[in-house]
Chain A
Amino acid sequence: MQLGFLVDLHLCMGCKGCEIACKVENEVPLSTWRLRVKYVDVGSFPETRRTFTPLRCNHCENAPCERICPVSALHYLENGIVNIDKERCIGCAGCVMACPYGAIYIDPQTQTADKCTYCAHRVASSMMPACVVACPVQANIFGDLEDPASNISKYIQQNQGNIQVRKPEKGTNPHHYYVGGGNVTLNPLASHRDEGHQLFNKITTLPVGGHH
């Protein structure tokens, strides 16, 4: 079994339901995110549009975080999920430095690394990840990539030629795919960015792990 994710960006409307569901399900502390939806505005008025890109851990086949972790706190599960053992983590932040997707953070409450686990605890109980359940338009598709009859495999077959991953040049072989993505949505250097986020507040940078 090789679990994977696919997000159809044509369907995503940026409601952030997945983001909230993830926060609630996993009790993700304030100022940290396992999953977030990035907005990029494209074009000049009046020819403008807004793109929405849910971003989470890519559960790479060749995960740099797993390789750099000195104590195997980050490890593979048999179903392909890159899981984390917070009790073992020493907080060296090597994984934060290694992840090319910025998907790992230092939990300010436990002072250990944390990230999306594809809701491994729910999956173990044969439930879908919280973000999949919350999505009102079924833009998040989750399933077994090795099973040709799974929804995700069918979706990939139907959209051949239009499947993307983030930063393929890094050689991480992500198990997280996008349909309808492009340079603007998937390449952080393809858009202009002022520090931090701008739409709702003026926070520029976040303290790592709540200190430093």
Chain B
Amino acid sequence: MVHETLAATNAVVTLDVALPGIVWPWLVTVNMWAKSIGTGVIFMLFLLLKKYPDQAGKLRFQTIVVSIIFIHIFLLFTLADLHQPFRMWHIFFYPHLTSAITVGAWMATAFVGLLFLLAFLSSIKKDNAAFDKTLTWVTILAIPVTLYTAGLMSQCTARELWQMPTESAQMILAALLSGSATMILLGGSKLDYEAKKTLGAVLGLSAMMSFILYMSEYIFGPMKAEEVAAVLEYIKGDGPYTVMFWLGQWGAYILPMLLVILSRVSKSENILKLAALLALAGLWLVKHVWLIIPQLLPMS
């Protein structure tokens, strides 16, 4: 942006094509948000079954149902975002394996199949041993399923803001944050305060680490790349997405961190539930802002 700032040069684009609209709109935000929840609850169920097997045992079926619902929301919005949704089958019959989209679609399909298997094992066959054994593999698969979108974003060479490995870390933290938040809400009377405290710790720590990553990019990103500096202008000062960005940061990270501490001090489950709700709502805003702002930058 050197020339623009030089009065002597004063370079102004006087004719070019109109800027393209948002290519990946809010549908993709819902995609990422729902996938975080769908995979995150699996991570949390695995954790709870290891730490609190008696209590978590009652949550096997409910957790799988929640995961199935959110994974299907993710798949539905992915489909809705395609300009040719009826050609979705091309991904399976003409796969291009260098694309994170292809790899992700294959993994997500396997993930859905395994979720239905878990639902079958818990509700019809009622075989907890087989369930827990299968869950281990599903939990391992949930890691790349939640990470592949980070791979996709980093394949977007045009969008300098989305860097690896930061996006990977953000994706896994988003899954831990939303998974723990959902399980706090889902736990009800089936989980005691100790189990919820553990979930609260996961929520608070993942919120803190995500917040640190965002602030690191916010402060230091512009020092490394001209494009990142230009993109972050949309969330600085009176930028068009400044308010949404900070609402997201407060909702998803800052307030939940504070509320988790407060809930531990006051031993209040209700405060923990409030933290969970805020984290889930705030995460959508955070994801949305980060998705949209690199798309506002002119490419030509």
User: Which residues of A are at the interface with B, using a C-beta cutoff of 8 A?
Assistant: 31, 33, 36-44, 50, 55, 64, 67-72, 88-94, 96-102, 105-106, 111-112, 170-172, 183-184, 188-200, 203-209, 212
A100 touches B15 (CB 8 A): no
Give which listed residue, A90, A106, A207, contacts B88 with CB less than 8 A: A90
A190 touches B3 (CB 8 A): yes
CB distance from B29 to the nearest CB of A (A): 13
Residue of B nearest to A14 (CB): B15
A68 touches B22 (CB 8 A): no
B298 touches A102 (CB 8 A): yes
CB distance from B291 to the nearest CB of A (A): 10
A33 touches B17 (CB 8 A): yes
Q: Within the assembled complex, what's the spacing in Å between the Cα atoms of A43 and B300?
A: 20
A69 touches B83 (CB 8 A): no
Give which listed residue, A55, A70, A93, contacts B99 with CB less than 8 A: A70
CB distance from B28 to the nearest CB of A (A): 9
Known: A38-B300, A70-B90, A94-B99. 13 other contacts (CB 8 A): A55-B300, A67-B98, A68-B100, A70-B91, A70-B96, A88-B94, A92-B82, A101-B299, A112-B83, A170-B158, A184-B3, A189-B1, A212-B22
Residue of B nearest to A107 (CB): B83
B155 touches A98 (CB 8 A): yes
- In the complex, what residues of B have CB within 8 A of residue A170's CB? 157-158
Q: Within the assembled complex, what's the spacing in Å between the Cα atoms of A184 and B84?
A: 37
Main secondary structure of the interface of B (DSSP, over half): loop
Tell me how many residues of B have a C-beta within 8 Å of chain A.
55
A-B contact count (CB 8 A): 209
User: Which residues of B are at the interface with A, using a C-beta cutoff of 8 A?
Assistant: 1-4, 7-25, 81-85, 87-88, 90-91, 94-96, 98-102, 105, 152, 155-159, 226-227, 230, 295, 297-300
Q: Within the assembled complex, what's the spacing in Å between the Cα atoms of A171 and B160?
A: 13
- In the complex, what residues of B have CB within 8 A of residue A36's CB? 16-17, 300
Which of A72, A172, A195, A204 has most chain B Cβ within 10 Å? A72
A90 touches B25 (CB 8 A): no
B10 touches A44 (CB 8 A): yes
Q: Within the assembled complex, what's the spacing in Å between the Cα atoms of A71 and B20?
A: 24
CB distance from B102 to the nearest CB of A (A): 4
Residue of B nearest to A37 (CB): B15
Residue of A nearest to B1 (CB): A189
B83 touches A93 (CB 8 A): yes
Give which listed residue, A50, A70, A88, A184, contacts B9 with CB less than 8 A: A184
CB distance from B234 to the nearest CB of A (A): 13
B19 touches A191 (CB 8 A): no
A97 touches B21 (CB 8 A): no
Given A70-B99, A190-B1, answer yes or no on A205-B18 (Cβ-Cβ < 8 Å).
yes
- In the complex, what residues of A have CB within 8 A of residue B227's CB? 189
- In the complex, what residues of A have CB within 8 A of residue B297's CB? 188-189
- In the complex, what residues of B have CB within 8 A of residue A94's CB? 99, 101, 152, 155-156
Between A and B, 8 residue pairs with Cβ closer than 8 Å are A36-B17, A68-B99, A70-B96, A88-B87, A91-B83, A97-B295, A106-B83, A196-B16
Q: Within the assembled complex, what's the spacing in Å between the Cα atoms of A46 and B90?
A: 57
- In the complex, what residues of B have CB within 8 A of residue A90's CB? 82-85, 87-88, 90-91
- In the complex, what residues of A have CB within 8 A of residue B81's CB? 92-93
Given A183-B2, A205-B20, answer yes or no on A188-B158 (Cβ-Cβ < 8 Å).
no
CB distance from B182 to the nearest CB of A (A): 28
Residue of B nearest to A33 (CB): B17
Q: Within the assembled complex, what's the spacing in Å between the Cα atoms of A191 and B83?
A: 33
- In the complex, what residues of A have CB within 8 A of residue B4's CB? 189-192
Nearest 10 Cβ contacts at the A-B interface: A91-B83, A102-B299, A39-B15, A64-B157, A70-B101, A196-B18, A191-B11, A111-B83, A91-B84, A100-B158
Q: Within the assembled complex, what's the spacing in Å between the Cα atoms of A30 and B218?
A: 39
Q: Within the assembled complex, what's the spacing in Å between the Cα atoms of A200 and B16?
A: 10
A183 touches B3 (CB 8 A): yes
- In the complex, what residues of B have CB within 8 A of residue A172's CB? 157
Given A42-B10, A69-B96, answer yes or no on A206-B18 (Cβ-Cβ < 8 Å).
yes
CB distance from B95 to the nearest CB of A (A): 7
A188 touches B300 (CB 8 A): yes
Give which listed residue, B20, B94, B300, contacts A208 with CB less than 8 A: B20
Given A42-B10, A102-B299, A189-B230, answer yes or no on A72-B94 (Cβ-Cβ < 8 Å).
yes
- In the complex, what residues of A have CB within 8 A of residue B24's CB? 93, 97
B9 touches A100 (CB 8 A): no
Q: Within the assembled complex, what's the spacing in Å between the Cα atoms of A93 and B78?
A: 12
A190 touches B11 (CB 8 A): yes
A206 touches B21 (CB 8 A): yes
